[in-house]
Structure 1
Amino acid sequence: MSIVYLIIIGAAAGFLATRFMKVETGVLQTIGIGILGALIGGLALRFLLAVLGAFAGLVGAVLGAMLLLYIWKSFAGR
Structure 2
Amino acid sequence: MSIVFLIIIGAAAGFLATRFMKVETGVIQTIGVGIAGALIGGLLLRFLLSVFSAFAGLVGAVLGAMLLLYIWKSYTGR
**TM-score, normalising length: structure 2:** 0.94
Deviation at 1:48? 0.8
Stretches of structure 1 that go unaligned for 5 or more consecutive residues are: none
User: By how many angstroms is 1:3 displaced?
Assistant: 1.1
Q: Percent identity?
A: 87
CA RMSD of aligned residues (A): 1.1
2:41 and 2:63 map into 1 onto residues whose CA distance is 32
The alignment partner of 2:31 has SS state of: helix
TM-score normalised according to structure 1 size: 0.94
Matched, 1:64 2:50: no
1:74 equivalenced with 2:74 (yes/no):
yes
**Residue identity in the other structure for 1:18:** T
Q: Moved runs in structure 1, 4+ residues, more than 2 A? A: none
